[in-house]
Chain A
Amino acid sequence: MENMIEVKDLRKEFKSHSSRSGLKGAFRDLLTRQYKVVPAVNDISFTVKRGEMVGYIGENGAGKSTSIKMLTGILTPTSGIVRVNGMDPHKEREQFVRSIGVVFGQRSQLWWDIAVQESFRLLKKVYNVPDELYHVHMNHVIESLDIGPLLDKPVRKLSLGQRMRCELAAALLHNPPLLFLDEPTIGLDVLVKLKIREFLKEMNAKYNTTVLLTTHDLSDIEALCERVVMLDEGKIIYDGQLDSLRSNWGEGKQIEFQFADAGVTKEELQPLLAQLDGAWTPGDRQNVWIANVLNEEQVISEVIGRVVAAHKITDLKVHEISIEDIIRNIYEEGITNG
């Protein structure tokens, strides 16, 4: 399979000025400013194959948006090589952007004051989509996203979920082989999220559309992507299958106990895990403690047995460690612990 995205040693530096403190400092800032060069994206390399759906994750400020903006040709890289769909996104911008679709969850790309269908009509002209192609493809998109009744409404009258579905349709209007989604499900309810996921899967299966998805909602990634690229402070800290992330870092189980009597302390609980290689963490409510233990039948039953014998409990839950927890652990402890 050919590579859709090739990134090699990509780097983007921003100059940021640091203000001096105090009134005197403010006056000095008027004359000379101190600049600091901050790398937002620090020599990253990765490739994405045609037809892959890749989750691109990281905390706020990790460099996700900056790298997406370089991949879409909006920003010029400080150094490094970007080839997307065989083109240099920044140098061949007008030609290049015809081959991509982009959805920015946080800003609309439809025209605010006019009906959705007018936006579509303009985009159809902008991308030079022939009539027959447009009708076949868009009728399908409109039907699967269920936006038919919204077409004659101005964008400003749509709800967020309605607007997002229209945005997605607009991004796919020219049926691009590559789709960038920058937090497409931010602030959406579960039903709309599910609909959007279903739709993306369908597009990927039908047209072999490559998708690069950034999101803070890891359930999106779990539902769509087999592979994740994880960024931290401008560097890639993990690039691989989502499954192996789970098997490497998420071997354990969490057993959540809700105790009947108030005031159970960690010290009291600690001996109960003796020789079992586990740890207690406080739960999100009062009197709730979570035992993090290995995923073995014996261990789990032993822990439950010991705890129940020692304390009265009102509730008990057994969880698999979620991807969210795994990722939080990776960010807190670094990849080396794995």
Chain B
Amino acid sequence: MGKYIEMIRIRFLMMLAYRTNYYSGILIYSINIGAYYFLWTAIYGGKETIEGMSALQMTSYVAIAWMARAFYFNNIDREIAQEIKEGKVAVELIRPYNYLLMKTMQGLGEGIFRLSFFSMPGMIIVALIFPIVFSTHPATWLLFAVSLMFSFLINMQINLLTGILTFFFYNNTGLIRAKRVVIDLFSGLLLPISFFPGWAQQVMNYLPFQGISYVPSMIFTESFSRPEIIHAVWFQVVWVLILILPIQIIWLIARKQLVVQGG
């Protein structure tokens, strides 16, 4: 286990090596939150609530959804694709560790870095500028943390899946981009799932995406009732377990017919 924890630390160091990325990231996220804040205040107009969410809950939702994204979002899929394309995966396979688990740990290292140096200070700044309610219940915070961990895992698994598909497609930049848009839209980052038309919500219930952003954000803004929270977290757990299966199968097939590109 020590090696996996060490990998988190290494990733932390790598993030520190590129500080400009970090500063520009803060800027981009603030702009996004600001834009969505003004968009939503315009949509609400004078209305008290839409779909059971008040304007205040909505701004908190937007802010927390973006800050949570900083934690779960990473480019591991692109990294895997690149390593496969350049044949670097050969080097990874001569190491006595599980490649996918190692990648997950790198993602976690990146996530923890962003959460502590980016989301938390960012959230304080955002709270000073825009009206945002923070829950005073420790239970909400705890449930949010748990659900955020699962949203990281679901997003990571989808990343691993798109990444290792490079073994079969050789160049899947398009797929990776499509995946990113799908996740931003269907995870509830841009629009809460409860705002989708009824039939779309039905479809979403059979897809893992809302476990990524919608669930933790709804928990944080206390827009879910207690039974809804329990149901939502179970939804996440089940998807984490389900997604293990295709990843393992594809990984095994890929290892069987692996072609290391570039000599």
The yes or no verdict on A and B being binding partners is: yes
Stretch at the interface among B1-9, B156-164, B226-234: B1-9
Contacts of B17 in A (CB 8 A): 113-114, 154
- A111 contacts B90, C-beta separation under 8 Å: no
B260 contacts the other chain (Cβ, under 8 Å)?
A: yes
Stretch at the interface among A65-73, A257-265, A303-311: A65-73
Stretch at the interface among B67-75, B92-100, B176-184, B196-204: B92-100
Shortest CB-to-CB span from B258 to chain A, Å, is 6
- A76 contacts B258, C-beta separation under 8 Å: yes
Cα A318 to Cα B97 in complex, Å, equals 55
> Across the A-B interface, how many residue pairs have beta carbons closer than 8 Å?
72
A106 contacts the other chain (Cβ, under 8 Å)?
A: yes
- A106 contacts B263, C-beta separation under 8 Å: yes
B238 contacts the other chain (Cβ, under 8 Å)?
A: no
Residue from B95, B255, B258 in contact with A97 in the complex, judged by beta carbons closer than 8 Å: B95
- B260 contacts A74, C-beta separation under 8 Å: yes
Which of A93, A98, A100 has its CB near the most chain B CB atoms (within 10 A)? A93
Residue from A14, A106, A118 in contact with B259 in the complex, judged by beta carbons closer than 8 Å: A14
Contacts of B6 in A (CB 8 A): 121-122, 125-126
B18 contacts the other chain (Cβ, under 8 Å)?
A: yes
Cα A127 to Cα B255 in complex, Å, equals 22
Interface size of A by CB at 8 A reads 31
Which of B6, B94, B263 has its CB near the most chain A CB atoms (within 10 A)? B94
Contacts of A106 in B (CB 8 A): 263
Contacts of B95 in A (CB 8 A): 97, 126
Contacts of A76 in B (CB 8 A): 255-258
Cα A69 to Cα B6 in complex, Å, equals 27
If A107-B87, A107-B91, A109-B91 touch, whether A118 touches B10 (CB-CB below 8 Å) is yes
Cα A61 to Cα B3 in complex, Å, equals 36
- Of residues 1 to 41 in B, which have CB atoms within 8 Å of A's CB atoms? 2-3, 6-7, 10, 13-14, 17-18
If A69-B260, A111-B14, A154-B17 touch, whether A100 touches B3 (CB-CB below 8 Å) is no
Contacts of A113 in B (CB 8 A): 13-14, 17-18
Contacts of A73 in B (CB 8 A): 93-94
A104 contacts the other chain (Cβ, under 8 Å)?
A: yes
A75 contacts the other chain (Cβ, under 8 Å)?
A: yes
Cα A100 to Cα B256 in complex, Å, equals 21
A284 contacts the other chain (Cβ, under 8 Å)?
A: no
Shortest CB-to-CB span from B252 to chain A, Å, is 11
A116 contacts the other chain (Cβ, under 8 Å)?
A: no
Cα A278 to Cα B194 in complex, Å, equals 91
Cα A75 to Cα B90 in complex, Å, equals 9
- B10 contacts A111, C-beta separation under 8 Å: yes
When C-beta atoms are compared, the residue in chain B nearest to A65 turns out to be B263
- Of residues 210 to 263 in B, which have CB atoms within 8 Å of A's CB atoms? 255-260, 263
If A100-B94, A104-B91, A122-B7 touch, whether A114 touches B13 (CB-CB below 8 Å) is yes
When C-beta atoms are compared, the residue in chain A nearest to B17 turns out to be A113
- B98 contacts A74, C-beta separation under 8 Å: no
When C-beta atoms are compared, the residue in chain A nearest to B87 turns out to be A107
Shortest CB-to-CB span from A245 to chain B, Å, is 26
A189 contacts the other chain (Cβ, under 8 Å)?
A: no
A132 contacts the other chain (Cβ, under 8 Å)?
A: no
- A127 contacts B256, C-beta separation under 8 Å: no
- A126 contacts B3, C-beta separation under 8 Å: yes
- A94 contacts B98, C-beta separation under 8 Å: yes
9 pairs, A vs B, C-beta closer than 8 Å: A14-B259, A75-B258, A76-B257, A94-B98, A95-B96, A106-B263, A107-B87, A122-B10, A127-B96
A-B pairs, 9 with minimum CB distance: A125-B6, A113-B17, A109-B91, A126-B3, A125-B3, A74-B93, A98-B96, A102-B94, A97-B96
